[in-house]
A and B are shown apart, each in its own frame.
Chain A
Amino acid sequence: MPTSSPFLTPCATTTSNTLALISLKRDETIPALLHAPTPTDPSDPIANTRFGSYPHSTLLHLPWGTQVAASNVGARERKRGKKRKLAEVNNNPANASTTTAQEDETPAQEEPAFEAAASGFAHIVPPTPETWTASLPHRTQVVYTPDASYILQRIRARPGDKVIEAGAGSGSFTHAAVRCVFNGYPNSGDDEKVIRGRVYSFEYHEPRFQALQNEIKEHGLDGVVTVQHADVYAQGFSGAQDVTAIFLDLPAPWMAMSHLTRGGPTQGGPLHSDRPVCICSFSPCIEQAQRAAAKLRELGWVDVGMAAVQQRRIEVRRERIGLMEEGLRGVTAVPATVGEALGRLRELEGKTAVFNAKRKKNDKRDKGAINGHTTEMDVDARSGTVGDGAVNGHHENGEDMMSKKGLPSGSKQQRLKNNLEAAKARKLYKEGRLTHRTEPELKTHTSYLVFGMLPPEWTEEDETKAVAESLAFEKQEVQKRDKVEEVES
């Protein structure tokens, strides 16, 4: 079985020695090279996350996309201690609730199984260039999907093509590029004739080069990506051949460009001898971009242009506004309409009138008694947010100012309580107005993208030949026509 990459040709389930991503929440994904215990390496690594611990054994042999419960790692440790004491008398007790059904199928486990933790869930998803870009270990600045997707389209990286990438950095672009050019693994034997896509990746920083090379191996991509440790300014792109697309993410791209010459018997450069070649140079600063553009023009690349990608992620939420929202979370508890505001103010007027009337009565009955304290109502009246009329109906006459529970029905406390109670019956997820906005973190600039194309070779010789051929073709056509005319006449 040739190596198969989970990026390109994933198996149906998670398997040992294969990269999987543990997705905890959006923008929080943890890569894990799954490991099943073997006789030589009986360990069961545990992925510890903010949302619980996931021993690899609980992540293996699952269909991709499965939701997995976190494990109570501590509980097992304790059990393991007990089990050792119990010795081997008790054969794998079935009391432990396993987290996966598939585990039952794996050969008899000597260790007690993990228990599901009380909280914590994750989804186990297959790696894609997008999810990898979002979760990879950053060794450098990386190219993100909005840029990579646009660049790869414009440099025409397609199945079967050969691509140069320098510098490789953290390998984010590498993974996006290899997906574009992949059209099969290089196979021994039958299909030698088929031209296979390949990414030639260059990095001069030794530790980064090592790290990427390891990743490429772990990801099963070593047949389709070649990582080389080289300084492309000085050494160019040796080893690369028949290249038709180039991506440069270098501090001084113009210093590498003169190495981009065509291959073939006379020149021996990395580029395809005949086909058009597309390039993108990626630089954060405009001065770099300008120099790159100038260099490309000088070297005979045409259609030299520049672009910048601006991407926004958009957040969608429901905006609930209104007095009935008071006391609920994530809302704006102001009147939703002028009508609601009026209603509330009128109600307040009514209540105040009743209250004043009462007070007058009380004053007569018990002069001075009220002076010592302020009532709830005064507070509410002053804060101007009195009443629960919008939801609970109006209490115009103040007759039931005191609810059965003893709270003043117009009190803020009671109102909030009523609102909370009412909210239980409401379908909050579909109330309010649907709104959208740009997400708080906004990338306004990534880099300038300088594009160019090296048109197919066309020499004097080609030209002379083409002219001759064209003339010959013409003559032939004329003769044909003459013949037809002869026959017709």
Chain B
Amino acid sequence: MSWNNRTRIKPGDQAILKLPSGLLKPIEIKPNTIISIGKFGSFHTNSLIGRPFWRTYDILDLKDGEKHARLRVVPASDLNSETLSVDNTPQDDAPVKEDAEAAASANEKFDIVGEDGSIIMRNNRLTVDDTSRQALTMTEIEELKNAGTGSGKEVIAKIMAAHSALGEKTEFSLAKYTLRKSKKFLKRFTVLPMEVGTVAEYIMDKDSSRIMELRPESLGLVASWSNAHHAGNLDQVEGNPTQGRYMVVDDTGGLLVATLAERMGILYPPASEKEPTEQPDPDTNQDDDAMPDQVESTTDAHSGPSRPNPKDTYQAATSNTITVIHPHTQPNLSLLRYFGYILEDTSSSSHPLYSHLHNITWLQLLDPSADTVYSNPPPAVDADTLASWKPSKRGQHFRKLRRHTRTQRVADTTRAGGFDSLVVASFMQPASVLRHLVPLVKGGGQIVVYSPSIEPLTELMDYYSRERRGAYMKMMQERVATGLDVETCMDDEEEDFPVNPTLLLNPMLQTSRVVEWQVLPGRTHPLMTSRGGPEGYVFSATRVLPAIGKVNAKGNFSKKRKAEETVSESPKKLRVEHVEQTKETAATVVGADA
């Protein structure tokens, strides 16, 4: 069992409160802390400890002698029956109840049944919409609330009783009225655990640009087309020493990484309960030999006495991994902290991402020799000298050494390619990203690119268009025919072919939009408002190995970019004799697509 599967709230947990208004509020369950949820009241964290996530709580009124308000777990039947009264119309055979909680959690839900009752037309012709009909004044209502006579429900009852025109109201509008009131006065909240969906919703409400306005439906598409999933438990699959390596370019603050990690089973730390903790794959600690032996024997400030140094497992997993390529020296994956992971922090060493999340810079990937950490190992020191050093100096030396070794290992394995998928949600030009990263994906692997707006992706589709691919193949054939060096690429060719268009099969561009509905007996219809903003588009394609393998696999790299060539897929694997089939390839592939 891991973190998210746990149902009981424990001290130190992160959680998100959902308020009656639909607002989300992340909190930490620190013992002995008062948590205030504004007009909805406040409560004491201790009264949540040991109680379940996912449940909705009423804040009860203070009784004599009580220091803190008590909480009541609201039964599901209560949540569903708040408007039962209106739903006993015999038109439906199944007894139907209104979903007050759902209503409360999405403010639009009932407000959309406009005050003029556009949907209710039949009976409310005579109702007069006039605030004067509310016999209680706002101040009186406030007083009622403050008098502590009820957890909101009572207030609502009083208000309802005081409403002179209630008799005139239709059943429907009465229900609506009750609900609108409950949203305002119920001291109620739901406790949700930290999950990708909830965190995404929270950030979307607060600062949607931070996650590139990634809607849940787009996220679902991206995750599905990326084919990201758990790598399984086979020690080795025939011919495939590693399984489940995903490459990611993430400008969503880590939401993309979190989504993939959730699919791969490496997002949630194992629960600290007594359940057997699951190691997502057996070779987490395989890379011991990557570190010089001395490391083991030195006393490192952070290492426990007998356990292997957690720093040795940092980014050391070889299967079920995510490799993030980032433009700054450090990646921005700050959202991962909601899931208990802080990058490069040994306090996170028990988190699965600690060994399974790798990261390197574009420089380390494309021109590692220009990167100081990669190319400059700290000078070798013999044991005696080491022993003579002060612990702090020794610690520093090993930190450097470890960093160098890790950087080199991650960069080298990344450059060797063979990734299962490439997933991109980035502000950078898609073509510039794909140009370098597609060759690192293995044949049959998936390429997925998300963009909030369509233009960057229409451009990308155009670079992989049938016509451009045809022209590219023609160019390559001519080059082969005239004995030209296929590995040189003229500058104008680079301009015409920013990517090698033969490396991707079936490029597809799509968008998806979810329309939420209100579903109530006799009043079922789509919600009348929803979030505008960017639609969100997803490009997907399959990496293939074109028959004119040698030419195409490397043709797109110019001489001045030697670094990339080593990065690109080893041409030896591709069949050389297919160069001779080039003509057919061009003719038939274009034909097949026509």
Q: Does the CB pair A314–B454 fall under 8 Å?
A: yes
Provide the residues of chain B in CB contact with A9, threshold 8 Å: 231-232, 234, 237, 240, 243
B491 contacts chain A at the CB level, 8 A cutoff: no
Stretch at the interface among B22-30, B46-54, B291-299: B46-54
The interface bits of chain B over 457-472 (1 if a CB of A lies within 8 angstroms of the residue's CB, else 0) are: 0110110010110110
Q: Does the CB pair B97–A297 fall under 8 Å?
A: yes
The docked-state distance in angstroms from the alpha carbon of A307 to that of B578 is 50
Q: Does the CB pair B509–A429 fall under 8 Å?
A: no
Interface residues on B, range: 35 or more
Q: Does the CB pair A12–B239 fall under 8 Å?
A: yes
Number of cross-chain contacts by CB at 8 Å: 342
The interface bits of chain A over 298-332 (1 if a CB of B lies within 8 angstroms of the residue's CB, else 0) are: 10111111111111111111100000000000000
The interface bits of chain A over 401-428 (1 if a CB of B lies within 8 angstroms of the residue's CB, else 0) are: 0000000000000000000000000011
Q: Does the CB pair A436–B232 fall under 8 Å?
A: no
Q: Which of B219-250 contact A (CB under 8 A)?
A: 219-221, 223-225, 227, 229-234, 237-240, 243
Q: Does the CB pair B545–A153 fall under 8 Å?
A: no
Q: Which of A264-301 contact B (CB under 8 A)?
A: 274-276, 286, 289-291, 293-295, 297-298, 300-301
Q: Least Cβ distance of A434 to chain B in Å? A: 5
A64 contact from B76, B230, B238, B443, Cβ within 8 A: B443
Interface residues on A, range: 35 or more
Provide the residues of chain B in CB contact with A429, threshold 8 Å: 465, 467-468, 470-471
Q: Least Cβ distance of B99 to chain A in Å? A: 5
Provide the residues of chain B in CB contact with A458, threshold 8 Å: 51-52, 55, 73
Q: Does the CB pair A290–B7 fall under 8 Å?
A: no
The docked-state distance in angstroms from the alpha carbon of A2 to that of B236 is 11
Q: Least Cβ distance of B190 to chain A in Å? A: 9
A314 contact from B7, B219, B230, B510, Cβ within 8 A: B510
Q: Which residue of A lies closest to B84 (CB)?
A: A297
Asked whether A129 and B224 contact (CB < 8 A) given A12-B238, A187-B233, the answer is yes
Q: Does the CB pair B217–A150 fall under 8 Å?
A: yes
Asked whether A473 and B46 contact (CB < 8 A) given A69-B584, A120-B592, the answer is yes
Asked whether A184 and B588 contact (CB < 8 A) given A308-B515, A470-B46, the answer is no
A232 contacts chain B at the CB level, 8 A cutoff: no
Q: Does the CB pair A311–B1 fall under 8 Å?
A: no
Provide the residues of chain B in CB contact with A118, threshold 8 Å: 584
The docked-state distance in angstroms from the alpha carbon of A60 to that of B195 is 42
Asked whether A314 and B593 contact (CB < 8 A) given A11-B238, A185-B232, the answer is no
B89 contacts chain A at the CB level, 8 A cutoff: no
Q: Does the CB pair B588–A11 fall under 8 Å?
A: no
Please list the residues of chain B having a beta carbon within 8 angstroms of any beta carbon in chain A: 1-2, 4-5, 7, 31-32, 46-47, 49-56, 70, 73, 76-77, 79-80, 92, 94-97, 99, 101-102, 105, 195, 197, 216-217, 219-221, 223-225, 227, 229-234, 237-240, 243, 262-265, 276, 278, 280, 442-446, 454, 458-459, 461-462, 465, 467-468, 470-471, 496, 505-506, 508-519, 521, 524, 526, 537, 542-547, 573, 575-578, 581, 584-585, 587-589, 591-593
Given contacts A304-B519, A436-B509, A470-B46, 15 further A-B contacts (CB under 8 A): A24-B592, A63-B545, A64-B443, A65-B444, A67-B547, A67-B578, A149-B220, A153-B219, A160-B2, A194-B233, A293-B519, A297-B99, A306-B516, A314-B509, A477-B32
A to B CB contacts below 8 Å, 22 in the list: A11-B237, A25-B593, A51-B592, A63-B573, A65-B443, A67-B544, A67-B589, A120-B588, A130-B227, A149-B220, A150-B514, A152-B220, A182-B230, A184-B230, A184-B233, A305-B517, A307-B515, A308-B517, A309-B512, A316-B509, A427-B496, A455-B56
